[in-house]
Amino acid sequence: MRRIGDALDGAVSQLSPVVGDAARAECLILLAYATGRQTSSLRLSLDDELSAADTETFDAAITKRLKFQPISQIIGYRDFWKHRFYVTPDVLDPRPDTETLIEKAVELGPFENVLDLGTGSGCILLSLLDEWPRAIGTGVDASAPALDIARKNTQTLSLTDRSEFIIGDWCNGISQQYDLVVSNPPYITQDAMDALDPDVRNWEPRMALTPEGDGLDAYRAIASTVQKVLKTNGVLLLEIGFDQGPSVTQLLIDQGMSDVQLFQDINGKDRVVYARKSEQKGQ
């Protein structure tokens, strides 16, 4: 058996050429996953021996990370907003940028009925339902495996009685209307895909990252149909790429949406587009 400190140092040496300065922090996370202990406990227990089973799990995790598999997929979860969400290679890894959308929705709410387009892991919809105890919601996704993960997260958060998940293509086939529609659709351009880190490009579902082309197809689809599923004065919130504000804003204006505005993330970059369905629009 190896000392925890020796196992950690060896893994850091392996991982440093791949992830640079983040190697030690990442190795601690993976070691905590392998041992079922907290990282703070591990730092104080470097002389303890690592069991054979924990060594095998840790070594396997390091091997996966050396192939650029995201840590969230290796350990099986990502912390987002106020909760821990199951993630797999079938869903987009929840990111801090998306919390800007949650913050804006909470600021504008509460809403009673929420539709999440391209729901993936369900992290947006479920975070909002948890904020609003009287709200109900629907998550739509084109991927059946992604919906399985969303339903698992629903069970973990005890929100099965206030949520449903259905397979679908954006707003198509949705018969009811909602107070709030949210979405973090695929928006990376086809040309930009090759420049993504291999953690993202090789491991996350391509359909959740890019619609190919200029990256705006999902916004076109949503803009052209969303008024059918919004109640009068209902709100639409869309996450966007940092340079897509003008384009997405114009798409919504062209479709007759009202009060179209941009909101920035913590880094001062455009991140969320707000729009409202006014009276007589999309009836």
| Residue 279: predicted pLDDT | 75
| 141: its two tokens | 């996704």
CATH code: domain 2-67 is 1.10.8
Residue of 40, 120, 113, 126 whose CA lies nearest to 81: 126
CATH code: domain 77-276 is 3.40.50.150
Domain boundaries, the chain: 2-67, 77-276
Each residue's pLDDT expressed in tens, for the chain with a length of 283 residues: 789 999 999 999 999 999 999 999 999 999 999 999 998 888 888 888 999 999 999 999 999 999 999 999 999 999 999 999 999 999 999 999 999 999 999 999 999 999 999 999 999 999 999 999 999 999 999 999 999 999 999 999 999 999 999 999 999 989 999 999 999 999 999 999 999 999 999 999 999 999 999 999 999 999 999 999 999 999 999 999 999 999 999 999 999 999 999 999 999 999 999 999 987 644 4
| Residue 48: predicted pLDDT | 87
| Residue 281: predicted pLDDT | 44
Amino acid of residue 28: L
| Residue 41: predicted pLDDT | 86
Predicted model pTM: 0.92
| 122: its two tokens | 């369900």
Burial 105-132 (b: 16+ CB within 10 A, else e): beeebebebbbbbbbbbbbbbbbbbbbb
161 Cβ contact list (under 8 Å, min separation 6): none
Amino acid of residue 23: A
| Residue 1: predicted pLDDT | 74
